[in-house]
Structure 1
Amino acid sequence: MRKLLLAVVLALAGSLSTAFTGPLPAAAEELRIGISQYPTTLHPSREASVAKSYIMSMTQRPMTVYDHEWQLICMLCVELPSIEAGTAVPEALPEGVEGAGDGQGIALTYTIQPEATWGDGTPITTRDVLFTYKVGRHEKSGVGSLELYRRILSIDVIDDKTFVMHVDRISFEYAAINDFRLLPAHIEEPIFDTAPEDYRNRTAFDNDPTNPGLAFGPYRIVEAIPGSRIVLERNETWWGKRPTFDRITLLTIEKTTALEANLLSGNIDMISGELGLTLDQALAFEKRNGEDYQIIYEPGLLYEHIDLMLENPILQDKRVRQALVYAIDREAISERLFEGRQPVAHSGVSPLDWVHYPDIKKYSHDPQKAAALLDEAGWSEMRDGVRHNAAGEPLRLEFMTTAGNRIRELVQQVLQSQWKQAGIDMRVRNEPPRAFFGETVHHRRFTGLAMFAWGKGPEHVPRTTLHSEEIPAEENGWSGQNYTGFRNAEMDELIDAIGVELDRTKRKEMWARVQQIYAEEVPVISLYWRANAYVLPKWLKGLRPTGQMASSSLWVEDWTVEGR
């Protein structure tokens, strides 16, 4: 293992050594950003991805969002509803409706920003709110957060800009509707009404992405070449602060080594922290070229992990899943590849989050314990270095991740080698990000292990990833993100209960149990908490990472050129 890790470190150290300090953009006309992935869809409510969030944060605005201080704020709305102000009113649920908690629902009043319009000048109104709700409620629409729309019982229109949302529970974050992403009714409703079950394939967001009526942020899309680039220009109907740059070009460069080369050659001005260099590359880059760029390291709630396909008979045995973790040395990976700056993740809740619970089962590198568990699970016969069961079947699994991501592929090699030492035959089959996320992961077509990252907001209830009702399937339009197929009745109950528990002390106790179950059942192998590295030109100011799910690009209008 030491030899392999040494080879990995040497491979990471080899790269370009000549720095190029790019000139200021002419009259702040264009900012060119390198990103490592192209989104599988540009529809706001389908297939959540970091790539889509980064781009759409410049062209749209959520109704509510967590800011840089991890506080909930309004963006598209005027003011957060609150019980104290009388704009959030507890109410009895309608007859026949089962809610949660004490059976009470809540009526939330929101007002849309008065000057908000779509990019074609059409005002954003409650018609868009009602249409978005209609799409979200349709079981075949393919939205990524069906649970959100299940909880919304109805919406009453007060006027063109004000509406009341009736929700079936009073949750601790009752004012947050971050995932209620508005759709333009004047464009999308005729498409949806024609064939709701085929809407995902016909939406204008993917078939006519340069339509100005799809945008209502500081920028709008004027060119979209799948897998290559997206070009944004100022949205002249944007009601907020005028952005500095006339144009922003996002170039998709899937190989992270090529990202660095493009930066040094001057082909791009900056590398996105959300979708850019891995930490090891950024550390090496800083040592060679740090004087010519500003490099920001932002620890946060993003963690690298491996989803396990629990419908695979081998992985249905918890002892095998636990053995997989005991057989790998995550501490060595963290120390030798990342200089300890990306610590081991023992669960899906970050130590930076107030609900983090440290006293859970932890899996140190213990090959003997891994071997004992595999023996106990019936994988006790060794043939040609591979364990077999009594039926003569080999302990063989497929291991996938995003092709072209150098650090993922190197970590994958280390893990494969360590599992080989335990007698586990791990077969690597990687895919380009668009295929991996758009088809293989989203449609649950991986058969063994799938390595990627999850981003979170503060105290983010893991319903979409761990609740049994969130397993994507053709029957639900591939909604949900429980790609492992994890089913645990106690986990379901806890997830449902946490959302409606207003007492922080009681909620923290529930969170502790969630993390205990996660660690014991191992539906996912947590690897390490990522620190995003932002590589920026020295003249770019105002970019602030958030450390959580909200992209830094959500405040793109604050980015400026020094001296202007």
Structure 2
Amino acid sequence: MKRKLSLILSLVLVLTLVMTGCGKSEEPKPANGGDEKTEESAGDANNPAKGRDGAEDTLVIGTHETKGEFLPGYYSETYDGYVVDLVFDGLITNDKEGNPIPLAAKDWEVSDDHLTYTFNLRDDIKFSDGEPLTAEDVEFTYTFICDPNYDGPRTSAVADLEGYEEYNKGDAEKVSGIEVIDDHTIAFKFTKALSTNIWNFGHGIMPKHVYEFEKGDIDAIKAKMTEPMGSGPFIFEKYEPKQYVEFKANEDYFLGSPKFSKLILKFTNVETQFSELEKGTVDIQLSVAAKGENKEILDGMDFVNIVEYPENSYGYIGFNMRDPRLADKKVRQALTYGFNRDQFAEVYYQGFAQTCNVPISQVSWAYTDEINEYKYDPDKAMKLLDEAGWKVGKDGIREKDGKKLEFVWSTHTDSKYVETMIPMLKSDWEKIGVKVEADIMEFAALSEKVYEKQEFDLYNMAWSLDVDPDAYEIFHSSQDQKGGYNSVGFKNEENDKLLEQGREEFDQEKRAEIYKKWGQVMNEELPYMFLTQANRWDVANKRVKNFETSPFQDIQDRDVILNIELE
């Protein structure tokens, strides 16, 4: 299920190109799947992964380090989302085209007024301890997110439920909009008819008998953050921070047991991923940066395939609009005109990416290209800064009212993307009278700085996007709160109005028109400097068969992980 704006935060573009907002990535490729090299070679005979101890029944996947947020209501990054989605099942998921389909639910009905969703659950699902999954577990999962002391990023999934306010802020013992009809039937009643409501039901269902807590005692459930237990295709076994997460196959999984008995998510980075592939110590490396120099390295390994497809994500630099200097639209536009993003994309990706100008992916039905491309134009940038009253000082840095246009750019380690950008951005902005210094830290520390503390001038990340183009959680003014995704403090009436209209409309063609207008507003206002949308490369050892990720289905999706076979 892709309902994880998973920055969740995904770094998918930035860390290994690469995380996760609202624009998607690649364009020239089809949105319905990846191109996989299938030719066999003599290299298979010397495939290092085949000689690895235990390789015959163990799949090792290389991915970025997790934060250890392994509960459905709390994970904020794509990488923790992999763990959550492997261990837990939601009521729904999505198919390869991005349409909602049943998972733990066998089907659902929507009332004529679009306010009530009634789910009929499968009766053959068990948690990994053998207890059956019932409607009470579903009720518990969503009530947990309604808790008065809940401090995770999923509030928007429940905030419009009938009875949310009474439970969250009052003395109600239950959420009236969640009704358990019988063991395998549950209904949710919303106060607003929104086309996006269906996507609130992809959150993993948590067993009540394992996670139950007294209302308000949210720390009791957070104490089990690194002990996930659900009904998914894999059973959590072990977590070694900074090293790996280990799972075993759920042999009783209701959709059929995985075709291998052990799964390891091994934490890799841009410095180690190629050596891990070459040694055969990982079978699949997710999100290898799509760039020319990496293609040369991979072409030298005749025992791997590249699965390539347009990434449903985009990279960006966020402007803290609480800072009076950055609250001025002309300054944000000048900074965007003043950075040669096309040159950066060419230098880093070498033809495998392009610049991004809206927070909507080109694989989305909502994408529009009727926008300003902000081609590199330092003269225009300087003119805008002049108009905004920022004059060049004696030291070459622009100043106004005793303040200077000098910024600290908060960014993260383990990223060639960042290493490439730093000198280019500093040089380009220096030409227009703007100084920037990079403050480099671990990604977990950056996430805390940006989302929990909101203490930054500029920062860069990437968004791994939802199937639906709705970006309410990222850009609506109501989400400007600590812990929320509107970390830049963007507040704009037209933005809010269009985001609300996009959710309230059920006709997709009309929604597309709304999001076209919204994209144009975002292109004008620039709460982010949109950077790049690139192709995604997932690299798999040739001993891994039937592996096919795509823009709307990642490694943890059931159509992907349950089809993989090892030889």
The match for 2:142 is: 133
Which of 193, 214, 226 is the aligned partner of 2:241? 226
The alpha carbon displacement at 1:344 in A equals 0.9
The one-letter code of the counterpart of 1:205 is M
The match for 2:25 is: none
The superposition leaves residues 38-72 of structure 1 with CA deviations (integer Å, 9 ceiling, x where unpaired) of 13411111242110122222222222222212222
The match for 1:106 is: 115
1:63 equivalent in alignment to 2:91? yes
**2:358–2:530: 8 Å Cα contact kept in structure 1?**
yes
Q: Secondary structure at the match of 1:469?
A: helix
The one-letter code of the counterpart of 2:488 is T
The match for 1:21 is: 47
Which of 1, 13, 31 is the aligned partner of 2:59? 31
Which of 352, 355, 358 is the aligned partner of 2:363? 352
The match for 2:555 is: 552
> How far, CA to CA, are the matches of 2:216 and 2:293 in structure 1?
49
Q: Secondary structure at the match of 2:557?
A: helix
1:409 equivalent in alignment to 2:413? no
**1:279–1:533: 8 Å Cα contact kept in structure 2?**
no
1:338 equivalent in alignment to 2:349? yes
> How far, CA to CA, are the matches of 2:132 and 2:423 in structure 1?
53
The match for 1:123 is: 132
The alpha carbon displacement at 1:265 in A equals 2.2
**1:28–1:244: 8 Å Cα contact kept in structure 2?**
no
The alpha carbon displacement at 1:492 in A equals 1.1
The one-letter code of the counterpart of 1:365 is Y
The alpha carbon displacement at 1:508 in A equals 2.1
> How far, CA to CA, are the matches of 1:370 and 1:139 in structure 2?
47
The match for 1:170 is: 193
The alpha carbon displacement at 1:27 in A equals 6.6
The alpha carbon displacement at 1:277 in A equals 4.2
List gaps (5 residues or longer) in structure 2.
1-16, 18-42, 163-176
Q: Residues 220 and 357 (structure 1 numbering): CA distance in 2 closer, same or farther, change over 3 Å? A: same
> How far, CA to CA, are the matches of 1:139 and 1:373 in structure 2?
46
The one-letter code of the counterpart of 2:124 is E
The one-letter code of the counterpart of 1:155 is I
> How far, CA to CA, are the matches of 1:372 and 1:277 in structure 2?
36
**1:151–1:168: 8 Å Cα contact kept in structure 2?**
yes
- Counting only pairs closer than 5 Å after superposition, residues 54-93 of structure 1 correspond to structure 2 as 54-79=82-107, 81=108, 87-91=109-113
> How far, CA to CA, are the matches of 1:28 and 1:73 in structure 2?
32
**1:121–1:237: 8 Å Cα contact kept in structure 2?**
no
1:284 equivalent in alignment to 2:310? no
Which of 488, 494, 505 is the aligned partner of 2:498? 494
The superposition leaves residues 116-137 of structure 1 with CA deviations (integer Å, 9 ceiling, x where unpaired) of 1111111111111111122121
The one-letter code of the counterpart of 1:345 is C
The match for 1:436 is: 446
User: TM-score normalised to the size of structure 2?
Assistant: 0.84
Q: Secondary structure at the match of 1:506?
A: helix
> How far, CA to CA, are the matches of 1:506 and 1:399 in structure 2?
39
The one-letter code of the counterpart of 2:526 is V
> How far, CA to CA, are the matches of 2:233 and 2:425 in structure 1?
43
> How far, CA to CA, are the matches of 1:325 and 1:200 in structure 2?
43
Q: Residues 107 and 310 (structure 1 numbering): CA distance in 2 closer, same or farther, change over 3 Å? A: same
Task: Answer 1 or 2: higher relative contact order, Cα 8 Å, separation at least 6.
Answer: 2
1:469 equivalent in alignment to 2:478? yes
The superposition leaves residues 227-259 of structure 1 with CA deviations (integer Å, 9 ceiling, x where unpaired) of 221111112342221112211111112x31211
1:507 equivalent in alignment to 2:511? yes
The one-letter code of the counterpart of 1:136 is I
1:256 equivalent in alignment to 2:270? yes
Aligned-pair identity (%): 22
Which of 135, 152, 176 is the aligned partner of 1:143? 152
The one-letter code of the counterpart of 2:438 is V
Q: Residues 324 and 472 (structure 1 numbering): CA distance in 2 closer, same or farther, change over 3 Å? A: same
The one-letter code of the counterpart of 2:297 is F
**1:36–1:259: 8 Å Cα contact kept in structure 2?**
no
**2:320–2:489: 8 Å Cα contact kept in structure 1?**
yes
Which of 430, 455, 475 is the aligned partner of 1:420? 430
Q: Give the alignment's Cα RMSD to 1 decimal.
A: 2.2
> How far, CA to CA, are the matches of 1:390 and 1:144 in structure 2?
38
The alpha carbon displacement at 1:200 in A equals 6.5
User: TM-score normalised to the size of structure 1?
Assistant: 0.85
Q: Secondary structure at the match of 2:69?
A: coil
Q: Residues 433 and 248 (structure 1 numbering): CA distance in 2 closer, same or farther, change over 3 Å? A: same
Query: Number of paired residues?
Result: 507
**Comparing 381-390 with 505-514, which one deviates more in the overlay?**
381-390
Q: Residues 199 and 492 (structure 1 numbering): CA distance in 2 closer, same or farther, change over 3 Å? A: farther
> How far, CA to CA, are the matches of 1:282 and 1:110 in structure 2?
46
**2:290–2:349: 8 Å Cα contact kept in structure 1?**
no
> How far, CA to CA, are the matches of 1:187 and 1:365 in structure 2?
55
The alpha carbon displacement at 1:143 in A equals 2.9
The match for 2:314 is: 303
**1:53–1:551: 8 Å Cα contact kept in structure 2?**
no
Which of 371, 378, 384 is the aligned partner of 1:367? 378
**2:84–2:204: 8 Å Cα contact kept in structure 1?**
no
Q: Secondary structure at the match of 1:233?
A: strand
The match for 1:8 is: none
The one-letter code of the counterpart of 2:478 is E
